[in-house]
Structure 1
Amino acid sequence: MDVHGTEVRQKALTLLRGGTRNADVARQFNIPPGTVSYWKHLDRAERGECPGRHDPRCPRCDGRELDESAYSYLLGLYLGDGHISHYSEHRVPNLMITCTESWPGLMDDCEQAMRAVFPDNSVCRVRKTGCRNVKVYSKHLHCLFPQHGPGRKHDRRIALEPWQQTIVDAHPWEFIRGLVHSDGCRITNWTTRLVAGERKRYEYPRYLFANKSDDIRKLFTDTLDKVGVEWTTLARGSDPFNISVARKASVALMDTHVGPKY
């Protein structure tokens, strides 16, 4: 919503285009100077008059080269802990990945992937309580992440476009790694066995992935199947939200290509 009204904004832009100073326009219409500056910036951007600035090209719209390995990883992160936000109709949307402070290496990997996929766009980290949001701004986020839509991911259908599936098929481990880094973990389980009348404790590593979306879990398990990782479903109550990888050979594969968070 335009608080100051379209008519006031158009009059202000007419003066600004004519060379009137920002401060004078702000005083004349009783508008905050920052608002006037923002209007002027948007107007110049729409007319292609911003010096030294350009609209970064898009791999989907303009055929720019895409770092597919980094994209596959970032796609996994997005499907787990990612969200595309719009603060207003005039601002550039941003992709935000929430990373806990406990895993600084994950934040580094996330930021590196964003910069590789969007080499000409702004990337930043925003500190929150117990976590940081790693963000990238781009007008083409919907082109590269068509899964974006209203509501929570587990309340709507999530499916990869054919071009995305081609990338995931070419870089399956990066996709798996992104999903595990967002909604998964590597833990050490233990159990006891009775051996020669004596109960002994045994420990073994396990990977877990948990997501409420049936579609996202299936994307994860389908990709595990393609790389030869055996998995099982662990039911939580009546809802099978958890995917487990516990077979020794499969855990070894995951350790080689994914590894624990850090």
Structure 2
Amino acid sequence: MRTKSLSLLMSAASACCGLGVFLSCSPKEACATSVEMVGDSLVADIDMGHFAIAIQHPADTTSALAQAIAEYASEALGGTYQGEYTSPHAIMSYYHSQTIKDWLPDYQQLKEVSDADNKFYWNVRITTVADTPQFLTIAYNCETYQGGAHGLGVHFGITLRKSDCRRVGWEVIRNSNGEKVQELMRQGLREYFNVKTDDELKNLLFDENYIYTMPMPQCPPLFTADGIQFVYNPYEIAPYAAGRPTFVIPYDKLNDNLTVTAQRLCGNI
């Protein structure tokens, strides 16, 4: 189960994270500094199960920032939508229908070999995490069940710099393998797992060497009002039962290891 689920997570990471990828807006279409967000959703309860998607997006869907969010949403959902990025509803409708179509053969096969009333589940939420004059952070949550012992939930997201819609990745943290950043990460994980020592922590991770060099999350850094959020998905560094190890490191604690780009985003310079 670990290998299969980790493989699924890696596929999701490839689609969702886009680490090191940047999206630039035209200088004449500078992203807004104040964003009015609205919501839209689609829900289908059918014989196969529950299929739902909800997206928060800028009210002005023609803006550069809105289209950057729409493009990210499409990539997170699979990256096969070929239409324009000015209609979030069209993107939702496409992936909602496509998921139902793609999952139907698996559901029919399951029904042939099992009398159990297994209902599939697909629930996607794209929501606003933080909105400041410098950046907008959105989260992508996807919870799925296609039979088996349990479902799988993944959490990704992206921070967009409003001035040019650049996607922010882990490159904005300098010397991430250095002792200062590593200790801050271990501290965050100790708090998440409610343990006091690294010896206790290492027994909860897949690899005890992680306490010496903790890998950066597959989810990009999520800039929030209080600091940078680190999110490890299930099976990434710990078993499924560990949940989603998540913690926030305040900007002032990371400041010496932030690039000028990151310091400007969080308002430290």
TM-score computed with the length of structure 1 as normaliser: 0.29
Larger Rg: 1
TM-score computed with the length of structure 2 as normaliser: 0.28
The structure whose RCO (Cα within 8 Å, separation 6+) is larger is: 2
